[in-house]
């Protein structure tokens, strides 16, 4: 075997400067665009998202209404822009609570192990037996439709992935030298866990958070479409697609543009997720 790779040689190779991959840059640029739309809708939107104009019902795309108007004469472009804030809020809230809850729980049970880990593991096994969407809509059905109840339902189900990722990582880090050094120095377990282990173990969960935001925004819009998420007349992309579904044959623009916006937002978060995963992957 003469073609063997020597690990020592690889380490000795000149470290190349790693530029961010285009995926991450494109993702961040798109995110900037979405953030501007979410923060300054008034500056960008030509019309109010809720004003009816009975002179301009179901008008196709034109210079005045680039995305056309809906069956109440509302400007679709303005509604798509105003909806950005609601849908970004959905992306954040459907992931932030599961992230916080799952990560802390994962750190705790990964560190303590034994019965706490076994117990949470059983609960996690139970949660994944239910199809995600089915459990979420069943919980929303019981609590009642609306965004707040949707966040509660998603949090009750979505923590499992974060728990798994962080738990595994903490279990690995626990054996690392720096954690043992902390113990030798007499640091309290909570200090070792929160100040030393968790910051080192949270990376996979943060990478997943971005991918999950892409899934969360789609889930939120799906519930909006079914009538279980944001409620009309709120401008939300899923609700808007549902609003236009009966006019597909005559006024395709009502559903099509909000759907494209939704897809764009989904792509944005999945590009950032991929880019981050690539950038944060340990260098070998």
Partner 1 sequence: MHASYVIRRLLQIIPTFLAVMLVVFLLVRLLPGDPASAILGDRATAEIVERTNRELGLDRPLPIQFGVFVRNLLQGDLGDSISLKIPVLRLIGERLPTTLFLTAYAAVLGVLMAVPLAVLAAVRRNTWVDAVIRAVFQVGLSLPVFYVALQLLSLLGARLGWFPIGGYGEGFGGHLYHLFLPALTLGLNLAAILVRTLRNSIIEVLTAEYVDFARAKGLRSRVIMTRHVLRNALIATVTLLGLNIGALIGGAVITETVFAIPGVGRLMVDAIFGRDYPVIQGLTLTFALIVSLVFLITDLIHARLDPRAELS
Contacts 24+ apart (CB under 8 A), 61-67: 61/253, 67/253, 67/257
Q: How far is the CB of 16 from partner 1 (least distance, A)?
A: 17
- Selected from 99, 162, 225, 257, the binder of partner 1 by CB under 8 A is 225
CB 68 within 8 A of CB 253: yes
Q: Whole-number minimum distance, CB 69 to partner 1, in Å?
A: 19
* Selected binder of partner 1 within 5, 9, 249, 282 (CB under 8 A): 249
Spatial distance between the Cα atoms of 93 and 147, rounded to a whole number of angstroms: 10
Give the tokens for residue 104. 């802390």
Q: How far is the CB of 227 from partner 1 (least distance, A)?
A: 7
- List the Cα angle 221/223/225 in 5-degree steps: 70
Is 218 a binder of partner 1 (CB under 8 A)?
Answer: yes
In sequence order, what are the beta bridge partners of 199?
none
Whether cis (ω within 30° of 0) applies to the bond prior to 52 is no
CA distance 264 to 271: 10
Report how far residue 169's alpha carbon sits from residue 174's, in angstroms, rounded to the nearest whole number.
9
CB nearer partner 1, residue 4 or residue 12: 4
Residue 233 interacts with partner 1 (CB under 8 A): yes or no? no
Q: Show contacts with partner 1 in window 177-216 (CB under 8 A).
A: 214
The only residue of 37, 221, 276, 277 in contact with partner 1, by rule CB under 8 A? 221
Residue among 173 and 214 whose Cβ is closer to partner 1: 214
Comparing CA positions, the residue from 159, 162, 136 lying closest to residue 149 is 136
The 104-143 contact track toward partner 1, x by CB under 8 A, reads ------------------x--xx-xxxxxxxx-xxxxxxx
Which positions touch partner 1 (CB under 8 A)? 122, 125-126, 128-135, 137-144, 214, 218, 221-222, 225-228, 238, 241-242, 245, 248-249, 252, 255-256, 259, 262-267, 270-271, 274
């Amino acid at each position: 075997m003469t073609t063997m790779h020597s690990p020592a040689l690889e380490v000795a190779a000149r470290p190349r400067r790693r530029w961010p991959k285009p995926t991450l840059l494109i993702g961040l640029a798109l995110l900037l665009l979405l953030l501007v739309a979410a923060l300054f809708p008034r500056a960008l939107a030509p019309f109010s998202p809720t004003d009816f104009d009975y002179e301009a019902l179901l008008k196709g795309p034109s210079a005045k209404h680039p995305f056309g108007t809906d069956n109440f004469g509302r400007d679709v472009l303005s509604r798509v822009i105003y909806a950005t804030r609601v849908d970004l809020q959905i992306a954040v809230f459907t992931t932030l609570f599961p992230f916080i809850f799952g990560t802390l729980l994962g750190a705790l049970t990964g560190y303590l192990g034994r019965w706490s880990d076994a117990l949470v593991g059983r609960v996690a096994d139970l949660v994944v037996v239910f199809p995600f969407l089915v459990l979420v809509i069943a919980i929303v059905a019981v609590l009642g439709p609306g965004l707040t109840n949707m966040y509660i339902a998603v949090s009750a189900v979505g923590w499992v992935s974060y728990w798994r990722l962080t738990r595994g990582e903490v279990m690995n880090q626990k054996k690392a030298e720096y954690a043992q050094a902390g113990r030798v120095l007499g640091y309290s377990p909570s200090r070792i866990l929160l100040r030393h282990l968790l910051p080192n173990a949270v990376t996979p969960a943060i990478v997943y958070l971005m991918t999950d935001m892409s899934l969360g925004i789609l889930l939120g819009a799906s519930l909006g479409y079914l009538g279980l998420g944001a409620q009309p007349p709120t401008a939300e992309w899923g609700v808007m697609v549902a609003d236009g579904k009966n006019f597909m044959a005559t006024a395709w623009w009502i559903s099509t543009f909000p759907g494209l916006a939704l897809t764009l937002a989904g792509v944005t978060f999945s590009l950032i997720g991929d880019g981050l995963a690539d950038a944060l992957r340990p260098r070998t």
